[in-house]
Amino acid sequence: MQYKHLGRTGLKVSRLCLGTMNFGPLTAEADSFRIMDRALEDGINFFDTANVYGWKTGEGVTEQIVGRWFAQGGGRREKVVIATKVFGNMGDWPNQERLSALNIRQACEGSLRRLQTDHIDLYQMHHIDRETPWEEIWQAMEVLVQQGKVIYVGSSNFAAWDIAQANSMAKARNFLGLVSEQSLYNLSARMIELEVIPACRAFGLGIIPWSPLAGGMLGGALQKAKEGRRAEERRQKDIEKCRPQLEAWEKFCGELGEQPADIALAWLLANPNVTGPIIGPRTIDQLTGALHALEIKLDEGAMKKLDEIWPGPGGEAPKAYAW
């Protein structure tokens, strides 16, 4: 396994992050345990979850599964850098969502209880909350860090100016601030190249791409159109909309002698700004298959061809659109 510092921190995490969103809804607990055990065996030490995963309001189903896995002992908790998130709706009352100081405190306590741990390694804001001032958010996070309940703080789905505002305010408070940003990023969704990636680079945030296979579309969608998430009506519409690109994409992957999913991950891993994409395997076979991407090195010609098939926004702002 390869490891990389998370942003500007001294923390080392695996180049692939194990996403747990399928644990509970799509993957049974026993199978989830086997996937997590295998991930550790393969050197993956970075696990990502969220308090809302499991999609039963207030229950934190996925966190509970991860917590019961930790409770088996054997060094599981000590070896894993666990990341979870706060923002989503966890109840019917008005302060059981978003980023008020009250909800941050209550949500953290809930996640600690479900995860059966005394601290969260990376506590991520699942979405920007422009109804709550940064003074309030940072004060709440500072208390959690002082109490030893949180070590690092990250963001998810933030705009570049949110990152700049957040870390400028944190610096004024002599607080470390955001160390990572979890964004939608894959070959077919490259919008963050305009401003989010430059902001992360400037403020020292590691980038953790979610949906690296675009919901399965980049994983051989034309070959496996009726499998998994690809079978969803919305995904089928996406596939038809992008069919010419997908045909060129899968043909090129065949010419490289590699599976489309592996090339999609290898393309992200080749970006020096990326810490590690989140893989969300439903089975052990999907987990072990993703490891091959770490061995793939794309040359300049291959990267250029991928840009032709899946063009980005033209680089970073403002050069992408101004003279």
Domains and their CATH numbers in the chain:
3-309 (3.20.20.100)
pLDDT tens-digit series, residues 262-278:
999 999 999 999 999 99
pTM confidence score: 0.95
Q: What is the DSSP letter of 299?
A: -
Mean pLDDT over 8-36 rounds to 97
pLDDT tens-digit series, residues 51-66:
999 999 999 999 999 9
| Gap between the Cα atoms of 111 and 241, Å rounded | 39
pLDDT-based confidence at residue 231 (cuts at 50, 70, 90): low
**Residue 229 above 70 pLDDT?**
no
User: Looking at residue 236, what is its pLDDT?
Assistant: 79
Angle separating helix axes 243-256 and 260-269, nearest 10 degrees: 90
**Residue 193 above 70 pLDDT?**
yes
Q: What is the DSSP letter of 90?
A: -
Tell me whether residue 53 is one of the annotated catalytic residues: yes
Of 3, 53, 152, 185, catalytic: 53
| Residues in CB range of 20: below 8 A, 6 or more apart | 32, 36, 47, 48, 49, 53, 62, 65, 66, 280
